Structure 1
Amino acid sequence: MTRSPAPPPAPAPVRTSRWVWAVLAALYVLAFPYHPGLRSPNELCRLWQTRALVEYGTLDINQALRDYGYVGDLSVKDGKYYPSKAPLMSFAAVPLYAALRAAGGGFRYAVPEIPLVFFSRLLLTVLPTLAMLWAVRRFLLAYVSPAVSDGVTVTYGLGSLAYSYSLLFMSHQPTAVLLFGGFYALWRCARDEWRERGYLVAGAFAGATVAAEYTGALGVGGLVLYAALGLLGRPEPWRTRLVRMGRALGLATLGALPFVAALMLYHQATFGHPLASGYKYLNDAAYQPWHLGGFLGIRYPDPRAFLLSFFSPLRGLFTLSPFLLLALPGLVLMRREARASGEWRALFWLTAVLLAGYTYFTSSFSYDSWGWTTGPRHLTGLVPFLLLPIAWLLERLRASHHPGLLGAAAAACAVSILITGAVTLINYVPDQVSSALLALTVPLLKAGYLTPTVLSFWGVPQPLAAAPLLLALLTMAAWAFLRLGSPEHTRPTGAVLAGGALLAGLLLAAQLPGTAHHAGDQEALRLLESVWLTPPGKAVPFWPSASL
């Protein structure tokens, strides 16, 4: 009697080398695209309120404007000036500012602008995003292989708006972090991996989201839908499901209440009504029309706003991060899974509703209001919810017999890292530029105007201080292509390489038609070169002596 051969051993799971995560973290921590001469309004108006809270104990920033210089993005009510933004970021920076003030000598001018901006970004936008990347990877691992989970997580971290707005002290990426944190808590509860107290955590994240950015309420609405679908789809009697839903709602409300109440008290103290935000009292009359009409400036969709928000060579979402287009066929595949699984059904509708809602928002709001940023900034909160359909599509392609398509999809991820990563190292994109990559970023890099880095503060001149970051971006793009473009348990084939090369060439060539190299481009280049923190051959001090 012959014995049947033993089954082959299961292949060992592919693990990501630690150097990948170290390089990714270095690209976050070392890069410091900031130029004091630009007087970055979105960042400094928040930090000026932080200064006012610590130095004078006031919510208004009138004295801070006199002591530290004028900034933009303000609201004015009864002669008092406030940031026009939601207040969470200003308050979150208070302990940090107090610590820096004590370290600098404890007097009013003890904290110079550069270290204030650097540490505020590091602790309140950079490190939270790095922690979020761990949660993103953990979430994706529940549905796809480690190779796809790692590749998509790295692409999100370096090839999307997550990277751009982690390197700015603005609320857009913190809002994405808070939204995904709330989703992650709901997801763990839905899988019975957390106790019901997890809904308290989800509620706290949701409340903090609205306190960080008013438009975050759109994402919170999607989370409510996801939680409801998950609870209603459980295999339990209806009465049990309704009771469970009531407890979840109560816990989530309890978690959100401190943040919502604090936000309403802030509005009452600053603008005279719990529901009145700073956008009602904008100081700059030129910005007021953007927020008039419709609901808080949201009107009927405008084809121009839609096309420019997604496809403009200046700041189109898909132009800068073409891998996000993979979410569309990925959603089709998710829909098929949703027919047989309540878990997939809730995930599908969460993604579809958020995509539709954010698309409507960016298409009906004034496109011109996104100004001087990398990409359409108010879509930052949407991006992490597109990762599962992208990862699911890549997983299916790796298991299929379509190597050309797999190579193209992997190339879309690599090109996203190259484009968005390079533009992020500039991160201030004037409105008159024709193309963020070819008309602004590439000319600046060729002229030696590379991003300021921590190495610059250690005395390393440009281009030596920033060259390692550009090399790291190239390395991570190549790694993402090889990681995602490898069919299961094999290396990339010739067909994969050919498909990848073809699409990469097409995506990069697509940048050419919109690049005008007109007078606006030259004006923007001259402006940025004139204010560049670390021009070629120059090093700057990190903590210059305070001027009284």
Structure 2
Amino acid sequence: MLGRLTGRLSAAHLLFGALLLSLAYFYQAGGWNQNSRYDLVRALAERGTVRIDSYHRNTGDKARLGGHFFSDKAPGQSFAVLPVALAVRTVGGDMGSPRGAKRASYAMTVFGSALPCAAMLFALLALARRHGRTDSAAFYAALVLCLGTPMWAYGTLLMGHALSAAALVGALACAEALSRAGSRRRDFLLGTATGLLAGWAVMTEYPAAVPALLLSGYLVWSIRAQMRARGPVVLSGLVAGACVCGGLLASYHVAAFGSPLATPLDHLYLFKKVREQPFDMPSASALYAIFLGGKRGLLPLAPVLAVSLYGLVLMIRDRQSRALGVLCALMILYYALFNAAFATPMAGWSYGPRYMAAALPFWALPLAWVWHRHRDKLRRA
């Protein structure tokens, strides 16, 4: 019976299940960051408000305006896991009791972080296949991403990094699929999916705004030869998807802070330095700490990522994947500079430089090119 069951499942589905189990097995409970998101979910589910006045004492990650408290996080992950909270309440779960809070936050973490983290496998697989890489090369990149980098830790926490990263790489997979011509309906749906996913990445983590623009530019580049015939349909879908997320985010900002352009950074309750001067020029010391720092540097934690730089060279040297390689390099460069310029580069107590998390899929993808070129040697190793 087991043989018949596994025969119906592809290797990708089996690997996805293994990745999901490896993430969902662990539960790291609350913390200021997680609690801030959890509080917003409770406020929406239990009181129909964006104010977290009744719950804010469990976190310092909050904003204050007009005597009321709000989450200081972008709302995308809280919106994404809201159906989980409503389901918990429907079956009689008390999100305020210790046992109910554990069950609810665990379910939200699995749905909002572990599941998107594991699902990045399918985006990497689609991208690798599109450029002639083998499935095993994509599996290697996905395993490294989910189990060999700090992304594993973020996939077990109710933080926005895994969801934002998954949305960005999912948007890239949709944009890449548009490089192959199809029906007008397909073009519109893929354009819409690209806009929705890129927009949701921004709704989940504000720094994803620049990567979302880069992805939009990559989509335009992908269809440049057919812009006159396909451009209006594809771009209308892209704009429609982005407007849905933009409308939700603007509505949240108005409800919480009185203006569609206001953000929680303007009203932080703590972290005066971040509120008054969130950015400065990127510094060499910050870059060193981010990438090579002995305690939480990205490369000491995930040394295999150094090999990915060679993978980027392989991508850029290959005419077919050159644009994709340049995009991956730009994503990594942007997040490195953003991280180094931010007031708190290491972002408090976290596993590694967590503001680099959304760049990790684009850092891992080039490993598929390394595996594809040297797979015989790597298998023997």
Whether these two folds match at TM > 0.5 is yes
User: In 1, are the aligned partners of 2:95 and 2:101 still within 8 Å (CA)?
Assistant: no
Give deviations 1:422-477, integer Å, cap 9, x for gaps: xxxxxxxxxxxxxxxxxxxxxxxxxxxxxxxxxxxxxxxxxxxxxxxxxxxxxxxx
Q: Which amino acid aligns with 2:284?
A: P
Measured after TM superposition, the shift of residue 288 of structure 1 is: 2.6
Q: Does 1:160 align with 2:149?
A: yes
Contact 1:104 1:111 in 2 (8 A): no
Partners of 1:247 and 1:374 in 2: how far apart? 42
Shift of 1:17: 9.7
1:183 aligns to 2:160 (yes or no): no
Q: CA deviation at 1:364?
A: 1.5
Is 1:262 matched with 2:248?
yes
Q: Which of residues 114, 122, 131 is equivalent to 2:102?
A: 114
Residue 191 of structure 1 deviates from its aligned partner by 2.5
Separation (CA, whole Å) in 1 of partners of 2:233 and 2:90 = 45
Match of 1:31 among 18, 26, 33: 26
Is 1:214 aligned with 2:214? Answer: no
Q: Structure 1 length normalisation: TM-score?
A: 0.63
Q: Which residue of 1 aligns with 2:361?
A: 384
Q: Distance in 1 between matches of 2:95 and 2:11?
A: 47
- 1:269-280 equivalences under 5 Å are 269-280=255-266
Which residue does the alignment assign to 1:413? none
The Cα of 1:272 is off from its aligned counterpart by 1.6
**Matched AA of 1:388:** L
Deviation at 1:129, TM superposition (A): 2.1
Q: Bigger shift: 40-49 or 137-146? A: 137-146
Q: Does residue 143 of structure 2 align to residue 148 of structure 1?
A: no
Matched, 1:248 2:248: no
Give the equivalent residue in structure 2 for 1:41.
32
- Which amino acid letter does the alignment assign opposite residue 263 of structure 2? S
Instruction: Give the 3 Å change call, closer, same or farther, for CA 76–367 of structure 1 in structure 2.
Output: closer
Matched residue, 1:73: 61
Could you tell me how far apart the structure 2 residues matched to 1:292 and 1:189 are?
Answer: 42
CA distance in 2, matches of 1:298, 1:91: 27
Displacement of 1:328 in angstroms is 1.3
* C-alpha spacing 1:128/1:74, structure 2 compared with 1 (3 Å): same
Partner of 1:312: 293
Q: Give the equivalent residue in structure 2 for 1:441.
A: none
Q: Quote how far apart the aligned CAs of 1:152 are.
A: 2.1
Q: Which amino acid aligns with 2:243?
A: L
Cα separation, 1, equivalents of 2:119 and 2:324: 22
Distance 1:304 1:217 in 2: 25
Deviations 1:376-395 (A, max 9, x none): 11111111112332221232
| CA spacing shift, 1:225–1:41, aligned 2, 3 Å | same
Judged with a 3 Å threshold, the aligned counterparts in structure 2 of structure 1 residues 17 and 116 are, in CA distance, closer, same or farther, namely closer
Mapped partners of 1:263, 1:16: distance in 2: 38
The answer to whether the aligner puts 1:299 opposite 2:280 as a matched pair is yes
Q: Runs ≥4 in structure 1, deviation > 6 angstroms?
A: none
Structure with bigger helix share is 2
Corresponding residue for residue 53 of structure 1: 44
- Give the aligned residue type for 1:267: H
Pair 1:327-2:308 in alignment: yes
Alignment-derived partner of residue 163 in structure 2: 174
Residue 109 of structure 1 deviates from its aligned partner by 4.7
- The one-letter amino acid paired with 1:390 is L
Partners of 1:26 and 1:108 in 2: how far apart? Answer: 27
Q: How far has the Cα of 1:200 moved from its partner?
A: 1.0
Using the TM superposition, name which of 17-26 and 153-162 deviates more: 17-26
CA deviation after TM superposition for structure 1 residue 202, in Å: 0.6
How much has 1:20 moved relative to structure 2? Answer: 5.6
Percent identity, aligned pairs only, is 27
Deviation at 1:271, TM superposition (A): 1.0
Tell me how far 1:108 sits from its aligned partner: 6.5
- Secondary structure of the 1:371 match is coil
**Separation (CA, whole Å) in 2 of partners of 1:298 and 1:27:** 36
* Alignment-mate amino acid for residue 231 of structure 1: I
Residues 63, 269 of structure 2: 8 Å contact kept = yes
Residue type of the partner of 2:107? F
Q: Against the structure 1 CA distance between its residues 219 and 291, is the aligned structure 2 distance closer, same or farther, given a 3 Å change threshold?
A: farther
Q: Of the candidates 338, 341, 359, which is equivalent to residue 364 of structure 1? A: 341
Question: In the superposition, relative to structure 1, how do residues 181 and 280 fare at CA in structure 2: closer, same or farther (>3 Å)?
Answer: same
Measure the CA separation in 2 of the matches of 1:388 and 1:54: 38
Alignment partners' CA distance in 1, 2:93 and 2:369: 53
| Uncovered stretches (5+) of structure 1, i.e. residues with no partner | 1-14, 235-239, 400-405, 407-484, 487-491, 497-548
Structure 2 distance, partners of 1:96, 1:248, is 32
Amino acid at match of 1:228: V
Shift of the alpha carbon at 1:107? Answer: 8.9
Q: Give 1:254 shift.
A: 0.7
Structure 1 residues 347, 169: CA separation in 2 closer, same or farther (over 3 Å shift)? Answer: same
Q: 2:316, 2:323 within 8 Å by CA — same for their partners in 1? A: no
The CA deviation at 1:62 is 0.8
Q: Which amino acid aligns with 1:76?
A: R
**AA at the equivalent of 1:200:** T
- Tell whether the 8 Å contact from 1:290 to 1:369 is kept in structure 2 after alignment: no
**What is aligned with 2:273?**
289
User: 2:59 aligns to what SS in structure 1?
Assistant: coil
Cα distance in 1 for partners of 2:261, 2:14 equals 48
- Structure number, greater radius of gyration: 1
The alignment's TM-score, normalised by the length of structure 2, stands at: 0.89
The 1:96–1:180 alpha-carbon spacing in structure 2 relative to 1, beyond 3 Å, is: same
Amino acid at match of 1:48: D
**Residues 365-514 of structure 1 aligned to structure 2 (within 5 Å):** 365-398=342-375, 406=377, 485-486=378-379, 492=380, 496=381
Q: Please tell me the residue identity of whatever aligns with 1:334.
A: M
Report if aligned partners of 2:172, 2:194 keep a CA contact under 8 Å in 1: yes
